[in-house]
Amino acid sequence: MHILQFICSTGFYGAERWILALCNNTVDKNVKYSLAVTDEAASQNLEIARHFKRDCGDVYELPMAHKFDFKAVSRLAEYIKANNIDAVHTHGYKSDILGVLAARKAKVPVIVTPHGFENAKDFKLRLFIWLGCQAMKYADHVVPLSPQLVKDVEAYNIEKPQLVYIQNGVDLSEVEKFKQKPMALEKTKKRVGFIGQMISRKNIKDLLDVFDALHQKMDDLELILLGDGESREELETYTQTLSSKADIHYLGYRDDRLDYLKSFDLFAMTSTLEGIPRCLMEACAMETPVAAYDIAGIDQLITNEQTGLLSPLGDKEHLLAAWEKILNDQDYAKQLGKNACDYVNEHYSAKRMADEYVTLFNDVLDNKEVT
């Protein structure tokens, strides 16, 4: 069984790491994975290609003349046929559009896994997201990562048996290794941290506002932001208007993100929309205490006052109080972190997730009827 994972990668974030977790935790020796990733610009980060080649299998860097080069559909279909691909598994709006079209052209089944929906304001992006969601309707199966994403998919009139829920999982073995190591990074201040894409639904401006307000009470405090994205320039400009700007650090994408995660006294999220974020799973596994807005997806990992602290969406004063509680009560923060680690390890095994996907792939191929 030869499955092609397909993604239009913008960096090395949750979806990219999810693909690696799926492939690395598949124990069935009859399953072979390959990866197709679009090659769109000289500045594009194809970090996933390097990791996949090393750990999982062959990689095809799909050439694209520009971001919306639909000639890529034919190129991808030719690759599918030439390499005896049995099914295509897509990740992301553009991947869904191109991947569904290519799979249909090559007459193989296609499975779509939504990793999250973007509440974009830009009209062109909203249109593209809509097209991606329409493409899902032509997949053999749509497999969201969280109960909220199931509801989001159902809004596009996608229902069982086409709609299948497989609970998200993450390979936390790397985090476990880091937990055993001594702290690699020195710090002189308490550290609030964020890891992830800098895009609109992450709502990082609220995070900056809460940090700035708390910084006025606690001067031994710094904010570390790891990641990149289309909102970064705007956020950096906004940061220059804040009194705490000297203690806010944008570090971009980092290979040593887990060293930083281990150094955080608090992992902060202010997202307005999520699936089940991998970065949050890693924070829980690292026993880094979490404070976040109470939204669908995050609530699958964080139960208020048990595995972290949650605040009503948009309530920055409530969130500020949560930050203060964690940063000023070390024993309480430590207990939250331990509880979160225990919960994630019990409920979000990557091997369990991989086994369920292999069962789905087998079912799809056993009932293969591609037109």
Q: CB count, 10 Å around CB of 358?
A: 18
**Residues 149-202 pLDDT 10s:** 999 999 999 999 999 999 988 888 888 888 888 888 989 999 999 999 999 999
Strands (E) in 50-169, as ranges, are 59-63, 87-91, 110-112, 141-142
In this prediction, residues 107-122 reach a mean pLDDT of 85
**Residues 189-228 pLDDT 10s:** 999 999 999 999 999 999 999 999 999 999 899 999 999 9
In this prediction, residues 62-85 reach a mean pLDDT of 94
Angle in degrees, CA 295, 210, 290, rounded to 5: 50
Asked whether the CA dihedral 179, 185, 187, 193 is positive or negative, the reply is: negative
**Residues 279-319 pLDDT 10s:** 999 999 999 999 999 999 999 999 999 999 999 999 999 99
What share of the chain has pLDDT > 90, as a percent?
77
pLDDT for 30: 95
Residue 350 C-alpha from the chain's centroid: 14
pLDDT for 371: 46
CB 180 within 8 A of CB 211: no
The answer to whether the pTM exceeds 0.85 is no
In this prediction, residues 8-33 reach a mean pLDDT of 92
Tell me whether the omega of the peptide bond preceding residue 144 falls within 30 degrees of 0, making it cis. Answer: no
In this prediction, residues 262-277 reach a mean pLDDT of 94
Strands (E) in the chain, as ranges, are 2-7, 32-39, 59-63, 87-91, 110-112, 141-142, 190-195, 221-226, 248-252, 266-269, 290-293, 309-311
For the chain, domains (ranges, CATH) are 2-169+349-366 (3.40.50.2000), 173-347 (3.40.50.2000)
pLDDT for 43: 58
* Cα–Cα distance for residue pair 37/59, rounded to 1 Å: 8
